[in-house]
Chain A
């Protein structure tokens, strides 16, 4: 037992099961299963059109799915109480042009039954916002900070973040992760974060789910994604060679075959070595961006 518990104190989670949603001829969600346990931060990675925004709209109660269920964990809340405990930070701030930072916060405060004005004040100060400024006069980075204040002022137990740091300047980029870390330590909030910025996901998340064509095709621990996805450089290029089952991607590069594998272990390396008695094998570590890119390529092939 450790002294400082960072896990959930009664926080919310969600379990989506077999969600289906179509618009016209487009099948936006095609049997999506995804569980975010209380206190867990889940990253959502997928190309544009993979169904991420549709999933967010359903979780926010803005749309009803054609089929499937969303279960709230650990307690079954009605829609209203669930949404009152959910915080949403969109990639685009949507408030009226005439509003100032202060009036936008006040406006949201009136709509949000669990609005916590002291916490909201803390966020405004920590994120360095000026209440008197007009929203239209804010820089992209400041608008993103305001979106966080509006989305988090009611101390939500579940955070839904859609590209939260898109186009954000370096200074805001430092301030926002600190706020997220604080939400997680103090409230034990669970998070679902869609982002193309994989480095950010490496910082915030416990797990990453990959979406493709309306489903979650894979889910793994963020640390494992970086430490257990490797590229094996087989040299010289083997004539006949059976790929290990852990293979997710293969390319040729002058005189060598480069095999990206998941779940890398010493045992896997020995198995590959045994099949290539005369060749050399080099193991290359990957960044999170490289590890994700190779996985996405593999999904493209499968799709």
Chain B
């Protein structure tokens, strides 16, 4: 029997933001991919089950299932009958690359957004610095709860 909800996130460190412009499904895919890239879930090991992850994140199990299917399609994990989703060999590098692509796409969106509201690229760089600071603070706060 699992505990109901771990406020500090899952063992693989996934934290969701329901008020983000990134759909929940996408956040789960990105988060799991990052865990694989960091080596938090090593080759040959299993991802948490749909049930466990859905409960820990407090999300729809169908959404977690969909995220697993996406990682399977990317070739990072494979479904092993009766056991769950196993992390495939040699995927750390490709997970890293895929993760970088995802960040790049989001930064490009941010640049477009910044231009759309009439900010200069210099101003954007300044905001990026502030964002890093802000994210650092949020992480420290998150750790203490």
Do B18 and A174 touch across chains, with their CB atoms under 8 A apart?
A: no
CA distance in complex: A254, B42 (Å): 51
CA distance in complex: A227, B79 (Å): 27
Chain B's nearest CB lies how many Å from the CB of A229?
A: 10
Do B50 and A6 touch across chains, with their CB atoms under 8 A apart?
A: yes
- For the complex, is A205 an interface residue (Cβ under 8 Å from B)? yes
Count of A residues near B, CB < 8 Å? 44
CA distance in complex: A202, B28 (Å): 13
- For the complex, is B90 an interface residue (Cβ under 8 Å from A)? no
Do A203 and B58 touch across chains, with their CB atoms under 8 A apart?
A: yes
Do B49 and A4 touch across chains, with their CB atoms under 8 A apart?
A: yes
| Identity of the chain B residue whose Cβ is nearest the Cβ of A191 in the assembled complex | B60
Do B49 and A235 touch across chains, with their CB atoms under 8 A apart?
A: no
CA distance in complex: A31, B142 (Å): 47
Do A2 and B55 touch across chains, with their CB atoms under 8 A apart?
A: no
A111-163: which have CB < 8 Å to B? 122, 126-127
Write out the residue numbers on chain B whose beta carbons fall within 8 Å of the beta carbon of A127.
Answer: 4
Stretch at the interface among A11-19, A96-104, A277-285: A277-285
Do B49 and A203 touch across chains, with their CB atoms under 8 A apart?
A: no
Given A199-B18, A282-B113, A2 and B58 touching (CB < 8 A)? no
| Identity of the chain B residue whose Cβ is nearest the Cβ of A2 in the assembled complex | B79
Q: Mark B98-129, 1 if CB is under 8 A from A, else 0.
A: 00000000000100110110000000000000
Chain A's nearest CB lies how many Å from the CB of B66?
A: 8
Total of A-B residue pairs, C-beta within 8 Å: 126
Given A227-B26, A282-B112, A126 and B4 touching (CB < 8 A)? yes
Do A4 and B26 touch across chains, with their CB atoms under 8 A apart?
A: no
Write out the residue numbers on chain A whose beta carbons fall within 8 Å of the beta carbon of B59.
Answer: 177, 181, 203-204
| Identity of the chain A residue whose Cβ is nearest the Cβ of B109 in the assembled complex | A285
CA distance in complex: A179, B1 (Å): 12
Q: Mark B42-58, 1 if CB is under 8 A from A, else 0.
A: 00000001110011111
Q: Quick one: which of A202, A284, A289 contacts B116, CB cutoff 8 A?
A: A284
Q: Quick one: which of B5, B49, B116 contacts A177, CB cutoff 8 A?
A: B5
- For the complex, is B3 an interface residue (Cβ under 8 Å from A)? yes
- For the complex, is A200 an interface residue (Cβ under 8 Å from B)? yes
CA distance in complex: A7, B80 (Å): 19
Chain B's nearest CB lies how many Å from the CB of A227?
A: 5
CA distance in complex: A3, B80 (Å): 7
The 3 closest A-B pairs by CB, nearest first: A177-B58, A282-B116, A199-B18
12 A-B contact pairs sorted by A residue (CB < 8 Å): A3-B83, A175-B4, A178-B4, A184-B61, A202-B23, A204-B60, A206-B60, A235-B116, A282-B115, A282-B116, A283-B109, A287-B20
